[in-house]
Structure 1
Amino acid sequence: MTGAIRSSTAPQALEFFAGIGLARLGLEEAGFHVAWSNDIDPKKCQMYRNHFGSVPDHTLVEGDMSELKGSDLPRDISVAWGSSPCTDISLAGTRAGLNGKQSSAFWQYIRLLEEMGDDMPPVAVLENVTGLATSHSGEDMAAAVRAFNRLGYSVDALSIDARRFVPQSRPRLFLIGLKNPPKGSQSDSPLRPDWLQQVFADASLRMHKAVLPAPPEPLMSGFGMYVEEMPSDDSRWWDEDRLEAFLGSLSAVQAERVEKLKNNPSVSYRTAYRRTRNGKSTWEVRADDVSGCLRTARGGSSRQAVVRLGEGTSAVRWMTPKEYAALMGASHYNLDGLRTNQALFGFGDAVAVPVVAWLAEHYLAPALRGTLDEPVFAGCSQSEAHSAMEGELA
């Protein structure tokens, strides 16, 4: 069960494409209450119920959102959150874009918001892979912004990597639609890199750049602290034959890297992906103490391995559900009774909790309060910045 405090005074949120509920965890951490959620995947909904249980002030609707109507949604909602499917946009997908079979669910999200009419929430968010910005030469992202514009939202665009909060490289794109955008504009932010500027330069789109505090710097290490400890004789470590095949597949550069870490007097951990190079299956080990982007466990190439090196030894195994959860900022997620692939799929297809919490605290909540135009101090929350300003004026 989630430990979030529920309050009728908390801003209410809708959670579209809810998956296993990680957006809900982030929103609730920032003081929001998620009143309604929907997902089409029964296995993800099972994980959702397994963790959150059943509470009287929340509804989880399992099924195709195309069968829903705007009148089915609760009212008095402040935020609509949508983490729409990225299968047709991501590098691992078909690149069919927003009109692909799965990613086209975005248009159902827009339809339901429109059908809410005067009850449409003042804030609407779309979270997706950064590939949306370049899909069909940027046309898909422009189409998404126009869709929000037609509903009366001005749109901001941010790229936030989970690596700013947890040791996992996981960049994601966020479109934040506001009915009442701030008057101020931020000229420069690490969350709006150069490759995002094309959409801001499109004069046909209604865009804004909210003034935000500086986000945490990307982590350069820390994965080793998230590794699930297990003895050397645990059956999950690969046997000698499989270990030798792993080491034998490494390129000369990779092999040198692994050998150097193996001979260190202290133990360290790295992650590895299986790749196909020139028609041959090979393994590639990351050079840094950071996890690669977690993905859905649909095949061996998408599943990440953990490599333990040091004290003259080496060992390899698959990453565990506990490690997936921790790297998504959900260490306390209830994994009881779940099959491994079910858990890996659920977390690999989700948004990192601390990213949502940061965005909700520093952007969504101030937008609802009408304080996005207030000065902010780097690294401070809006409330801390307000207190600092009061101190300076005292």
Structure 2
Amino acid sequence: MGQITPINAARPKVLEFFAGIGLARMGLESAGFRVAWANDYEPDKKAMYDAQFPHSDEHAFALGDVGKVKVADLPRDAALAWASSPCTDLSLAGGRAGLAGAQSGTFWHFIRLLKELNDDSPEVVVLENVTGLATSHGGDDLSAAIRAFNDLGYSVDVLAMDARRFLPQSRPRLFLVGAKNPPEDVAEPNSELRPDWLQWVYGDKSLRTHRAKLPAPPAPKLEGLGEMVEEMSGDDERWWGAERTEAFVSSLSPLQRERVASLRRGSGVKYRTAYRRTRGGVAVWEVRPDDISGCLRTARGGSSKQAVVRLGNKRLQVRWMTPREYARLMGAGDYDLSAARNNQALFGFGDAVAVPAVEWLGQHYLMPMVKGTMARAVVTERASVQ
């Protein structure tokens, strides 16, 4: 009689495409998975990845262009493939070239490798990207992505989830979950995870989709930024000097200036975040009105870096947000930053997926599907050996 492997004998293996600094890995492994292989093309991100995760003979990292990855390099027994493909060509900050763009188009190499795995392709796949994927080229890019998964035998569910449900940061993202053996479709009313603007996906009869039954996610946070801020004295050299701070205040609109002045006069200390934007060809600062961080971005220039504003007790101080604060706002407060340069860390976190969002998806959706498939495989194996 053949030996039947217990369902919980091992943590299901994952292929991690476009791994960045490994935040998806952190979330997936917290949910019970084990990342066995990863890929990214940026040496600076791999350096941070290597510092965070101890070397293991059970894990391989392929540094370089995903277009040069060969199927022979991939483990053949992975249960899940995760891809946080570049969003540059899909985001508002990019050129909106969509999936045909040079960076976001790397998605097609992910599809190629899944196809070349043939019968060894994972039971479950996930594509994580910005919500702009849903409207890119009038929805054609999202349809094309779903059809690509359909052609490989996957039914697709599409979820919209904001990291703000877990962290004090506004960071909406789209998750395409593909399954070879999807759960029973639940034709539920529009939910928090499948809002009105995604419903057209399920109404398109040319697409093979499903809607898994999921618990309600946590309610969006309304506060908590102050808990993420690094403690530092008022005379720390990272706070801007008087001249630079005055220039910051002078650039604010009258409405924002009055809001900031009111917070400054108040008792106690409050924190807000600010971005530099161009309005009418003029660079200005805009301060968020709430106790939530704006969406962290890749720090390629000053306009993409976020500032922290400390207000109260008749004082106002401004400085750049620190790498540790970026890490905390991504749910990776203990991330090893010992060898990372400042901008290297800001870029790595700004280009990543929030850890608790991945963990929630892993616990409530991905792991139950994978274990369900493994359970059916055990039943089939038992029947075949009897």
The two structures have a TM-score, normalised by structure 1, of 0.91
Q: Does 1:153 align with 2:158?
A: no
Aligned to 1:100: 101
**Residues 119-198 of structure 1: pairs in structure 2 closer than 5 A:** 119-188=120-189, 189-198=191-200
Distance in 1 (alpha carbons) for counterparts of 2:264 and 2:187: 47
Unaligned runs of 5+ in 2: 1-7, 374-386
- Could you tell me whether the CA contact under 8 Å between 1:70 and 1:114 is conserved in 2? no
Distance in 1 (alpha carbons) for counterparts of 2:140 and 2:55: 41
Structure 1 residue runs of 4 or more that deviate by more than 3 Å after TM superposition: none
Aligned to 2:58: 57
State which drifts further: 178-187 or 274-283.
178-187
SS in 2 for 1:256: helix
Distance in 2 (alpha carbons) for counterparts of 1:205 and 1:69: 29
Q: 1:8 offset after TM fit, Å?
A: 6.1
- Letter in structure 2 aligned against 1:194: D
Aligned to 2:25: 24
Aligned residue pair count = 365
Q: Does 1:35 align with 2:32?
A: no
- Letter in structure 1 aligned against 2:365: Y
- Could you tell me whether the CA contact under 8 Å between 1:38 and 1:61 is conserved in 2? yes
State which drifts further: 49-58 or 23-32.
49-58
SS in 2 for 1:18: coil
Match of 2:231 among 229, 232, 243: 229
**Residues 324-339 of structure 1: pairs in structure 2 closer than 5 A:** 324-339=326-341
Aligned to 1:308: 310
Q: 1:184 offset after TM fit, Å?
A: 3.3
Aligned to 1:203: 205
Distance in 1 (alpha carbons) for counterparts of 2:353 and 2:233: 31
Aligned to 2:263: 261
- Could you tell me whether the CA contact under 8 Å between 1:71 and 1:115 is conserved in 2? no
Aligned to 1:74: 75
- Letter in structure 1 aligned against 2:318: V
- Could you tell me whether the CA contact under 8 Å between 1:186 and 1:212 is conserved in 2? no
Distance in 1 (alpha carbons) for counterparts of 2:296 and 2:135: 21
Q: 1:370 offset after TM fit, Å?
A: 2.5
- Could you tell me whether the CA contact under 8 Å between 1:325 and 1:333 is conserved in 2? yes
Q: Does 1:12 align with 2:13?
A: yes
Q: 1:53 offset after TM fit, Å?
A: 2.7
**Residues 82-93 of structure 1: pairs in structure 2 closer than 5 A:** 82-93=83-94
Distance in 2 (alpha carbons) for counterparts of 1:168 and 1:64: 31
Distance in 1 (alpha carbons) for counterparts of 2:346 and 2:228: 16
Distance in 2 (alpha carbons) for counterparts of 1:67 and 1:296: 25
Distance in 1 (alpha carbons) for counterparts of 2:259 and 2:22: 38
Alpha-carbon displacement from aligned partner over 1:288-341 (angstroms, at most 9, x marks no partner): 000000001111111100000000000000000000000000001000021100
- Letter in structure 1 aligned against 2:275: Y
- Could you tell me whether the CA contact under 8 Å between 2:48 and 2:339 is conserved in 1? no
The two structures have a TM-score, normalised by structure 2, of 0.93
Distance in 2 (alpha carbons) for counterparts of 1:183 and 1:238: 56
Distance in 2 (alpha carbons) for counterparts of 1:273 and 1:184: 42
Unaligned runs of 5+ in 1: 1-6, 372-394
Q: 1:76 offset after TM fit, Å?
A: 1.2
- Letter in structure 2 aligned against 1:39: D
